[in-house]
Amino acid sequence: MFESIAIVGATGAVGRLIRQLLDERDFPYSKITFLASKRSAGTSIAFKGEEHEVKLLCPEAFDDLDLAIGSTPDDVAAEFCPWAVERDCVVVDESGYWRMDPKVPLVVPEINPEAALNHQGIISSPNCSTTQMVLAMKPLHDAGKIRRVIVSTYQATSGAGVQGQADLIDGSRSFLEKQDYEYQAFAHPIAFNLIPQIGSHKEKGYTSEEMKMVYETQKIFGDDSIKVCPTCVRVPVENCHSESMLVETEKKISAEEARELFAATPGIKVIDDLEAGQYPMPANCSDDDGVFIGRIREDLSCENGLAFWCVSDNLRKGASTNAVQIAELLTKSQASV
């Protein structure tokens, strides 16, 4: 058991969920500390019936801490993680800053739990759109070895933070009332619209969000031969990312076999009855840690292809839940020593 733990970025949306999950999952510890920037330091957080003062995020804050779970912007993570490691505090980091560092394991516990145990002080949690995709890929890769994935994402505004949510709600209201609205989180109106760009321009016409899905997938599976062709789209949905996936495997897997493989995989929930109109939708997948899969069918254009629909709460399994699961892995490994 880690005696003393901390949540870094404790007052943010994901930080609040991490607090909730630590309570719900009865995560073991003796002392907990909440850390945040100057803007939030000094405020109070209620946790397990007690009031806790939010402490300032600074190097000395990690003195005597054993574990920190961080949900901060990249530039903040770049600074605070070394502070923690220098003081023998292990960090489970949600930011994108450390994910592709060769010395830092990138972990989804259902896929590569062993990687978490080979850390050098920092363990990274993947991008939310990557996390649900790779979990859906896992049973198919084990059964038939995946050659390539074509994926189109339909990403909720909660992925852009609190301001993204405000842009959706206030922008939609203004649109209906025929009033002007100045968007803050998005370069284009999100109300009644789709924006086929998430992140900055990177290579060969792909965005930074799309390239995360390529490189993070290969790192998590430890297999650079897996080809990923992503298109990431922001949609006017409040929460839960959806993905349309086409997977090509070396060994043919039928739709029925795939359905059985998905159903047997921890963390995956199958809702797949087209005739009855039953399939995953963001409206019924929020506030759940599962990766939901439906519309499972064989590809009409590729002999060894499978097409399916995948939905997951991007603030839970895509962020906070995965981080807490990594922390639980570390705790269990300590107990077994």
The catalytic residue positions are 128, 241
Name 5's bridge partners: 32, 67
**Residue environment code for 171-206, b if the CB has 16+ CB neighbours within 10 A, otherwise e:** bbebbeeeeeeebebbeebbbeeebebbeeeeeeeb
DSSP conformation letters of 271-294: --BTTTTB---GGGTTT---EEEE
259: tokens are 């359905």
68: tokens are 């920190």
Rounded to an integer, what distance in angstroms lies between the CA atom of residue 255 and that of residue 24?
Answer: 36
Nearest to 96 by CA among 120, 62, 73, 117: 73
Nearest to 159 by CA among 215, 91, 83, 241: 241
Rounded to an integer, what distance in angstroms lies between the CA atom of residue 104 and that of residue 222?
Answer: 13
> For residues 154 and 243, is the Cβ–Cβ distance under 8 A?
yes
> For residues 252 and 317, is the Cβ–Cβ distance under 8 A?
no
